[in-house]
A and B are shown apart, each in its own frame.
Chain A
Amino acid sequence: MRLGDALARRTGAGPYLVPYVLVDRGRSRRLGATVRALRAGGATAVELGFPFSDPIADGPVLEAASGRALGRGTSWSDLRRGVRVAAAILPTAVMTYANPVWRRGLDRAFEELAAAGASGLIVPDLSWEETGPWRRAARRSGLDLVLFAAPGTSLDRVGRIAAQARGFLYLVARYGTSGSGAARSARELRPMVDAAHRAAPKLAVLVGFGVRDRVTREAALASGADGVIVGTALEERLAAGASYGELTRWVARLAR
């Protein structure tokens, strides 16, 4: 299923909850049960992260998780295996930085991920100006390339980005890396959400960076966004060895 179909903006659907899980060779045997636990709690789709040596958009928690995963030898084949496992349970988008994909070769990387069952790709250091070849490769492979808007993005630019985004528009909720600090208020985010909806009425807008509990989720959704992404708060639980039952209950509280 394409990411944009799983997360399509339509009456009665959503709000969507998309958790982020980093692929880590050291926890590969638990990946399937983890994603099932997230689904049981009400997750709509899952973002599978592929670690990168220089994750400049990540805060300390996800950066440390990346470092641990690479230290345990996590490779591109682990990502493909992880996608096969996760995509059998939930629609799966891969999130990684530009270089691992570029190094693989855009067409080859996109085809391999699509063949493994991925629905979309999210690249946080790919600014809109550079997306041309990536959007073409995504189209050829049938993957949805998710694009970003951020607090300083002009409304005009938000509209132009949303018109070219596929899957969903990733709205960064605040200035800063993932996981720390407070999200911008709904009042500040709303004009951006509206601009995206005007430009792409069927495209969901998901808010990420700074969403970690019901309060921050409610605040994000009050902007009119169609859902949220949670990464750091989930990684903290995974790193602390939370049980599958605990994960399900935690997600359920967030998704309700």
Chain B
Amino acid sequence: MPRRFGAYGGAYVPETLVPALEELARTWREARRDPSFRRELRTLSETLGGRPTPLYFARNLTRRAGGAEIWLKREDLVHGGAHKFNNALGQGLLARRMGKPRLIAETGAGQHGVATAMIGAALGLRTEVYMGVVDMRRQRPNVERMQLLGARIHPVTTGSRTLKDAINAALRDWIANVRTTHYLLGSAVGPHPFPSLVADFQSVIGREIRRQSVRAFGRLPDLAVACVGGGSNAIGTFHPLLATSVDLLGVEAGGRSPRSAGAASLTRGRPGILHGTFSYVLQDADGQVADTESVSAGLDYAGVGPEHAWLRDTGRARYLAVRDRDALTAFRWLAQDEGILPALEPSHAVFAAVREAHRRPSSQHVVVTLSGRGDKDLEVVRRAPR
């Protein structure tokens, strides 16, 4: 399990957290070699999570794009409505193995909070979720779901009151309660071993894409597209494809206007240290982390996973930013062309995928990871200017 991806990654944390991070890395090294752990992970992924998720040919969206075939990897059909389940299940099992009775999590869009609350309930672990009050307002349905699932919500009122500040609050809780609590970090960010661990648990997405695309159209896709906030669904999509010739495209949130940096750390940020990892960060000249803005709470984050920073620098993956307006457009395309309500996060990826498909011949195949469903976003979409 790599600690660094080129220069990126590492573990920049207070000393108090170091033993817990080492314990987590050790537990995962042992668990992944333990057949009974792997069997339980697979069984629960299938019977509770609903895996494998289908790879769906979006015929009408393909017609709209007028180029390469567009296929959707339906992570929106995972239990809870997003890919977040894959990682929450894996880390929940590790927490139980470490004997930690309490889970804490941060959440932006609420999808990771919901997934953690579900796993907490299923595995009998007490669950508490930190969420910025700005996000609680715009993702209300998920707040209610978490509460119904038995999780306690801690509203975060400091800083920008979004995902970044929820992570700060969760880290502070962890520093105080590290002996009894597992911090179930929801994205491929944070100190080692989290970026590698989350990538491992999310790689089921890319493995299924590999298998299913060969079965569906006889070969690997030409391009795989996924949205990137912290980057967990993207790294899960990309990882099993890294050693192939498939083009990889990560799509960040471009925010409201072309002048805004949005939340596009990789395309508009600079290398820096945030939340325990060295990666790209939106920041000012003094290294203060910038406030971000995006229509999608789940992408609204100033940092990004360190492996993406490395994939960007090496050129193995390309990254671009899609603006709010275009994400909303893609949301409506998918709703009306395919009868699927996507979350606003993967709507960014869908927009980029349609544009890419348009530029490619009809003999090619574009797979886009539909990381979550859009029920949580109906209010935001209803209020958005058309």
A102 touches B276 (CB 8 A): no
B176 touches A181 (CB 8 A): yes
- In the complex, whether A101 has a CB less than 8 A from a CB of chain B is yes
Q: In the complex the two chains form, what is the Cα distance from A191 to B10 in whole Å?
A: 29
Residues of A within 8 A of B179 (CB): 152, 175
B175 touches A177 (CB 8 A): yes
Checking B15, B281, B286 against A127 with a beta-carbon cut-off of 8 angstroms, the contacting residue is B15
A103 touches B168 (CB 8 A): no
Chain B interface helix/strand/loop/mixed: mixed
Stretch from B16-24, B78-86, B97-105, B247-255 contacting the other chain: B16-24
Checking B11, B16, B191, B289 against A54 with a beta-carbon cut-off of 8 angstroms, the contacting residue is B289
- In the complex, whether B334 has a CB less than 8 A from a CB of chain A is no
- In the complex, whether B275 has a CB less than 8 A from a CB of chain A is yes
Checking B16, B19, B159, B281 against A67 with a beta-carbon cut-off of 8 angstroms, the contacting residue is B159
Report how many A-B pairs have Cβ atoms within 8 Å: 111
- In the complex, whether B44 has a CB less than 8 A from a CB of chain A is no
Residues of A within 8 A of B165 (CB): 54
Q: Which residue of B lies closest to A98 (CB)?
A: B273
Q: Please, what's the 1-or-0 string for B1-38, where 1 marks a CB less than 8 Å from any CB in chain A?
A: 00000000011111111111000000000000000000
Interface residues in A59-101 by Cβ distance below 8 A to B read 59, 63, 67, 70, 75-76, 97-101
Checking B159, B176, B273 against A177 with a beta-carbon cut-off of 8 angstroms, the contacting residue is B176
Chain A interface helix/strand/loop/mixed: loop
Residues of A within 8 A of B273 (CB): 97-99, 102, 125
B272 touches A54 (CB 8 A): no
Q: Please, what's the 1-or-0 string for A8-40, where 1 marks a CB less than 8 Å from any CB in chain B?
A: 000000000000000000000000000000000
B289 touches A53 (CB 8 A): yes
Checking B12, B18, B171 against A153 with a beta-carbon cut-off of 8 angstroms, the contacting residue is B18
Residues of B within 8 A of A99 (CB): 272-274, 281, 283, 287, 289
Q: Which residue of A lies closest to B281 (CB)?
A: A99
Q: Which residue of A lies closest to B18 (CB)?
A: A127
CB distance from B290 to the nearest CB of A (A): 8
- In the complex, whether A195 has a CB less than 8 A from a CB of chain B is no
B272 touches A175 (CB 8 A): no
CB distance from B7 to the nearest CB of A (A): 11
- In the complex, whether B178 has a CB less than 8 A from a CB of chain A is yes
- In the complex, whether B239 has a CB less than 8 A from a CB of chain A is no
Interface residues in A170-214 by Cβ distance below 8 A to B read 172, 175-177, 181
Checking A57, A63, A103 against B158 with a beta-carbon cut-off of 8 angstroms, the contacting residue is A63
Q: In the complex the two chains form, what is the Cα distance from A129 to B277 in whole Å?
A: 13
CB distance from A139 to the nearest CB of B (A): 20
- In the complex, whether A234 has a CB less than 8 A from a CB of chain B is no
B287 touches A152 (CB 8 A): no
B287 touches A56 (CB 8 A): no
CB distance from A211 to the nearest CB of B (A): 16
Residues of A within 8 A of B355 (CB): none
Q: A99-B289, A103-B283, A104-B287 are in contact. Are A56 and B172 (CB under 8 A)?
A: yes
Q: In the complex the two chains form, what is the Cα distance from A135 to B177 in whole Å?
A: 30
Q: In the complex the two chains form, what is the Cα distance from A57 to B270 in whole Å?
A: 23
Q: In the complex the two chains form, what is the Cα distance from A108 to B274 in whole Å?
A: 20
A100 touches B12 (CB 8 A): no
Given contacts A99-B289, A175-B176, 7 further A-B contacts (CB under 8 A): A53-B289, A54-B168, A56-B175, A67-B159, A99-B274, A102-B278, A103-B272
What are 11 sample pairs from A and B whose C-beta atoms fall under 8 A apart?
A54-B164, A57-B175, A75-B286, A125-B13, A150-B16, A152-B16, A153-B19, A172-B16, A175-B175, A177-B172, A181-B176
Binding site for A on B (CB under 8 A): 10-20, 158-159, 164-165, 168, 171-172, 175-179, 191, 270, 272-276, 278, 281, 283, 285-289
